[in-house]
Structure 1
Amino acid sequence: MEGLPADQGFDARPTIGALYAGSLASVALSAVLAIQTLLYFMFFSADNIRFKGIVGWVWASDTAHTISVAVAIWQYGVLNFSQPQYLLDIAPALSATVALTGITTLNSNVFYGWRIHRMSKGNLKLTIPIGLLAVTRIVMVIFLSVEMILCETWALISLRFKPMLVAALGISAATDIMLAATRYFFLRELKQGYMGVPEMVDAVVIFTINDGLLTCTIVVAAIICFALMPQNYIWVGIYLTLSKLYSNSILVTLNLRNWYRHKNRPYLGPQIDYDARMRRRTGAQTPTEDYHGKGTGSFIGGRAESSRADDDDVESVEVHVNQRVDYTVRVLPVGYEFEGMGRPGGRSGVRADYPPRPSR
């Protein structure tokens, strides 16, 4: 990477400019993730602790990535503002950014791999290759991060480890394609078998395709830019956004449950809205009845009195009711799970088991 003094025509646009652009996009996507995290804990407070732990870890790793990006920009653009030759070196914070990108990518791969494992009823022929690709990539990324710290310059890294860097990015793209294709296959099977939820399945199918194509496109763009223009930071700027896309993908998938849950609920007018607000303010609770005629002890417009942990294997339906005006009842098919994640949790309605659980 060539670094020339400003009076000899040094062009900052493809170097420090690309880093600035990538960091701005990265911070913007991190803000989107923070909003999604807040929405998740607002709407899915009754979710299993497992999902809450996943969301917390995704947010924490994303925050660490954002901090490392900011420190790297500070090292390149502020501490060494008048030293263009420093662009030939690898800032320590940038090495940390590469490692954290590998971790966030692993988060996404494990999350979707686990869901595919659930949807495929434990088909190891699908999940083992996905797991091997994910582990191979994280090992390569951690190794490259350590070597970036030891080598200190891009020239040395490019000379010694360019094939490995391209291979790591290629494995990432291959994993994205495999995950998206497998999820698409099972979602199409779900739509054909359960005609009661076509809109929800269509929405998840569209998101799955777009998500896989987007991350794969970003990875391929980074590979092309690195192969054709290794002397600048355009590929690094593109790479900085990759971690955010993976993290946002997980949160969008979880929050998509709430979109479907409320999509077809009719607007009941200002009086009903006022009554709901008053019930929330006063803490009033009105029991509702499930399909078996038993009081559930739950209420709409506030938190349920108690919520049990989700049993992902229980045949279930979700019913939306109101104490004064009946909503349109949305019945999920028997055995339905939201892409391998079990029943949606939260406070948007009253759950009932239908048919009753078999005795064990």
Structure 2
Amino acid sequence: MAQSIAIVSPAVTIDNTLGALFVGFTVACCVYGILLSQIYTYLTHYPMDRSIYKLIVLLILTLETVDQALIGQIYYHYGISNFSNPLTLIEGAQTWSFILQQTLGSVVGAIVKIAFALRVWRFSQRNFWITGLIMILTLGGLSLALVFTIKSFMLPDVFSVVKLRVLGTISLGVGVLTDIITASSLCYFLNKLRTGYRQSDSLVSTLIKYAINTGALTSVVSITTVILYNIMPNNLIFIGVFFILSKLYAISFMATLNTRRVVRGKGTDRQNTTANHTNIFHLGTRVPSMGPSDMAGWETAYTATSATQQEFDQQRPIIPLNTTGFQDPTLGKRPAM
């Protein structure tokens, strides 16, 4: 079987074609499992979260489940159904799952980028220019991906995708640029929120680390895909790497939702306080003004808390701060002789 493929092209082997698809499918399964655990954590810890977040999570779960099924169908078609006919991978028409998998991955990436653009909008005090730039790049990258999909249906075989190298490179490059601008913007605007208080500044530093990490991983995978696509177009290693890209976007979004309470705990822990250094850096929420009158109640309106936490807060005893008039009834009594 390997000799048959080698006759067609010395650069094409079982290892860098079916082997690459198998490794990509296996890693994608693992990453998909991590995504499922993130979604389970979200559903169990934030059952009272806003409906819009739940709809986005449900949409991402549906798209990624279909995406993983398409990846499985790709490998099954070329590795199992056509096991005795390796030339199908070289000369046969590419399957619809090959094309639609790329499309679904691009849609998931666009959804997550739009969600992060809204974070930039909130943390930047509604900066129209930077948010608009991120949105334009996101929609532009998605449009290029859709054009890539349409043109892919016109290709005679899998390896003819090299003809779309320029379009694919620009599409992935726009995605990398979007990630870099988003992460840089979040770091810049978060850094401006430093107040000089140790707890608040520590929280800002934590949020900056989250912003860098969420953008760095997807950018590295995108850049790796672009490099492999351009230097090794005669194999499928770049496709194996691309299999996990959309799932990393989904995981970064879920991690943002799931770390909200953890991050909130790093700031001042009292709700409705009037101190200017109150924790206002909650992930994914609107940043209120710094005035004392604007602080009360904002966290309740925009922070997702679980039913367990709400019940705990309701049952927690309130200890009065003014104990001047309080006297223990046992004080002042002499013990019985």
Tell me if both proteins adopt one fold, taking TM over 0.5 as the criterion. yes
Q: Deviations over 1:251-291 (max 9, x none)?
A: 00010113335679xxxxxxxxxxxxxxxxxxxxxxxxxxx
Q: Any stretches of 5+ residues in structure 1 without a counterpart?
A: 265-315, 320-328, 352-360
Deviation (angstroms), 1:70: 1.0
| 2:304 aligned residue | 345
| 1:63 aligned residue | 65
Distance of 1:157 and 1:138 partners within structure 2: 18
| 1:307 aligned residue | none
8 Å Cα contact 2:18-2:78 kept in structure 1: yes
What amino acid is aligned across from residue 142 of structure 2 in structure 1? I
Closer, same or farther: CA 118–61 of 1 in aligned 2, 3 Å: same
8 Å Cα contact 2:264-2:279 kept in structure 1: no
From 182, 189, 195, the equivalent of 1:179 is 182
Q: What SS does the corresponding residue of 1:11 show, helix, strand or coil?
A: coil
From 30, 40, 43, the equivalent of 1:41 is 43
What amino acid is aligned across from residue 257 of structure 1 in structure 2? R
Distance of 1:7 and 1:182 partners within structure 2: 49
What amino acid is aligned across from residue 280 of structure 2 in structure 1? Y
Distance of 2:79 and 2:64 partners within structure 1: 22
8 Å Cα contact 1:4-1:85 kept in structure 2: no
Deviation (angstroms), 1:125: 0.5
Distance of 1:25 and 1:318 partners within structure 2: 42
Normalised TM-score (structure 1): 0.73
Aligned counterparts, 1:284-299, within 5 A: none
What amino acid is aligned across from residue 124 of structure 2 in structure 1? S
What amino acid is aligned across from residue 168 of structure 2 in structure 1? L
Q: Is 1:257 equivalent to 2:201 in the alignment?
A: no
Q: What SS does the corresponding residue of 2:36 show, helix, strand or coil?
A: helix
Q: Deviations over 1:120-161 (max 9, x none)?
A: 1221111111111111111111121122122242343322x2
Q: Deviations over 1:8-39 (max 9, x none)?
A: 68731111111111111111111111111111
Distance of 2:229 and 2:162 partners within structure 1: 10
Closer, same or farther: CA 7–232 of 1 in aligned 2, 3 Å: closer
| Identity percentage of aligned residues | 22
From 135, 138, 141, the equivalent of 1:134 is 138
Aligned counterparts, 1:81-120, within 5 A: 81-88=83-90, 89-120=93-124
Distance of 2:266 and 2:283 partners within structure 1: 18
Distance of 2:138 and 2:26 partners within structure 1: 28
8 Å Cα contact 1:116-1:340 kept in structure 2: no
8 Å Cα contact 2:29-2:68 kept in structure 1: yes
8 Å Cα contact 1:119-1:339 kept in structure 2: no
What amino acid is aligned across from residue 194 of structure 2 in structure 1? K
Count matched residues: 288
What amino acid is aligned across from residue 188 of structure 2 in structure 1? F
What amino acid is aligned across from residue 58 of structure 2 in structure 1? G
Distance of 2:197 and 2:45 partners within structure 1: 26
What amino acid is aligned across from residue 176 of structure 2 in structure 1? A
What amino acid is aligned across from residue 221 of structure 1 in structure 2? T
8 Å Cα contact 1:317-1:332 kept in structure 2: no
| 1:318 aligned residue | 271
What amino acid is aligned across from residue 111 of structure 1 in structure 2? A
| 2:244 aligned residue | 241
Q: What SS does the corresponding residue of 2:259 show, helix, strand or coil?
A: helix
What amino acid is aligned across from residue 12 of structure 1 in structure 2? I
8 Å Cα contact 1:4-1:84 kept in structure 2: no
Distance of 1:70 and 1:155 partners within structure 2: 19
8 Å Cα contact 1:169-1:223 kept in structure 2: yes
Closer, same or farther: CA 165–6 of 1 in aligned 2, 3 Å: closer
Normalised TM-score (structure 2): 0.78
Distance of 1:11 and 1:185 partners within structure 2: 47
**Bigger Rg over Cα:** 2
Q: Is 1:228 equivalent to 2:231 in the alignment?
A: yes
Closer, same or farther: CA 6–132 of 1 in aligned 2, 3 Å: closer
Q: Deviations over 1:217-256 (max 9, x none)?
A: 1111111111111000111111111001000000000101
Q: Deviations over 1:163-197 (max 9, x none)?
A: 11110011011111011101111222223466433
From 16, 20, 23, the equivalent of 2:22 is 20
